[in-house]
Structures are given as structure tokens and as C-alpha cells.
């Protein structure tokens, strides 16, 4: 299934977890002394919809506290501000879709080997990563993996089932993007 199809078919937990994972991967290396994982508390809201409003407010406050956040953090803040107050409904699906697009755009921006192709983000979302650079294609594959992992969890499983694996996949993706960003920064000097 393509990323678009997986988002369209995902349940509310899958949408919330997929979106939080996307946003988390967009965050740059935090400055010394800053919270290394400002979105981490939001994962509990992915497992339990009753916790979502409070955890969302906490994540917004953590990102608002960052001084001179940069473009990626500013865009993550905007998406957190647009997140639905309740972890349910069509608004959640639209928000998860926007988080997916942001993560792909951030990865594409850091992709030094990106070939010139018309709208590679849309092509990746539709299931064709052939015109994408390695960072963009890798992010699209990570998003598919996360949604497939969550879709494969039995409905009778505990609410938090599978989230640890999603967090691990997301953390690895975050390390990859941060390493690529650091390499680009060194080359620019």
C-alpha cells in the first residue's frame, strides 16, 4: 500500500502515532541544556486518547520554550497548534497527513543527492520513490513501516502496544536526518 492509502486506512491511534513520529523526526539537534525530546510526553496521548489534550498542551509549551527555534521547529509548532484537541475524527486524519508532508519536505530539503524531478514528495506518498533522493525515500519508507506496524496490531492488544517499536523507528530516522544536517553544515563552512 502507498503512504496515502495507509493514512486513509489508519485508525486513530495509528494516525496520532504516525503524526507524532513524523514531527519528532523533523526536530533538529537540541542546544545544550534543552529538552532532548520535547514531544516525548505526547506519545502517552497516542496510547490513551484521554491523555491527548494535556499531553498536546505540554508539547506545545515545550516547543514554545525553545529560543531561536529555526525553520523546522517553527513548522512543527504550527502543526502542533493546528492539532485537533481531541484525538479523533476527520481533523486527526488531515493533521496526520500534514505531518507526513512536513516530514517528507524536511528530509527532501536536507537531501544533497536529490535528483531534479517534479514533486518527488507527492510521488513518494503515492508509492513511487524512484525520483527521490536517499533521505526522502528513506523517510517515506519509515512512514510506511510505522503505519504498517500499527495497522498489524490486534484490536484486543493494550492501547500502547507497538508504540515502543514506533518510537525506536522514529529515533533512528531522527539520527539519520540530524547526521545529514550536520554534514551539510560542515560542508557549508
Quick: pLDDT tens for 94-122: 999 999 999 999 999 888 766 667 789 99
Interatomic CA distance for residues 30 and 36, integer angstroms:
6
Nearest to 78 by CA among 60, 57, 66, 90: 60
What is the CA angle 159-146-185, rounded to 5? 125
Quick: pLDDT tens for 113-146: 666 677 899 999 999 988 788 999 999 999 999 9
Task: List Cα–Cα distances, 49 to 15, 17, 62, 143, in angstroms.
Answer: 12, 11, 20, 21
**Are 127 and 98 contacting, i.e. CB atoms less than 8 angstroms apart?**
no
Confidence grade of residue 41 (pLDDT, cut at 50, 70, 90): confident
Which 3 state secondary structure label does DSSP give 19?
helix
Question: What does the DSSP 8-state code read for residue 88?
Answer: -
pTM: 0.92
- Per-domain boundaries in the chain: 3-188
Amino acid at each position: 500500500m502507498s503512504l496515502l492509502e495507509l493514512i486513509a486506512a489508519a485508525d486513530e491511534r495509528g494516525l496520532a502515532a504516525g503524526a507524532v513520529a513524523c514531527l519528532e523526526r523533523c526536530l533538529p539537534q537540541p542546544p545544550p541544556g534543552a529538552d532532548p525530546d520535547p514531544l516525548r510526553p505526547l506519545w502517552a496521548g497516542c496510547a490513551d486518547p484521554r491523555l491527548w489534550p494535556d499531553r498536546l498542551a505540554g508539547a506545545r509549551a515545550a516547543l514554545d520554550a525553545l529560543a531561536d527555534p529555526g525553520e523546522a521547529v517553527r513548522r512543527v509548532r504550527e502543526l502542533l497548534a493546528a492539532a485537533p484537541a481531541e484525538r479523533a475524527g476527520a481533523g486527526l486524519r488531515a493533521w496526520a497527513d500534514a505531518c507526513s508532508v512536513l516530514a517528507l519536505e524536511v528530509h527532501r530539503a536536507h537531501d544533497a543527492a536529490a535528483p531534479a524531478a517534479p514533486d518527488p514528495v507527492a510521488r513518494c506518498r503515492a508509492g513511487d520513490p524512484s525520483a527521490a533522493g536517499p533521505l526522502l525515500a528513506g523517510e517515506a519508507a519509515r512512514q510506511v513501516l510505522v503505519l504498517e506496524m500499527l495497522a498489524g496490531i490486534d484490536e484486543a492488544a493494550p492501547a500502547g502496544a507497538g508504540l515502543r517499536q514506533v518510537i525506536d523507528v522514529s529515533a533512528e530516522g531522527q539520527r539519520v536526518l540530524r547526521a545529514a544536517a550536520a554534514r551539510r553544515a560542515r560542508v557549508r563552512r
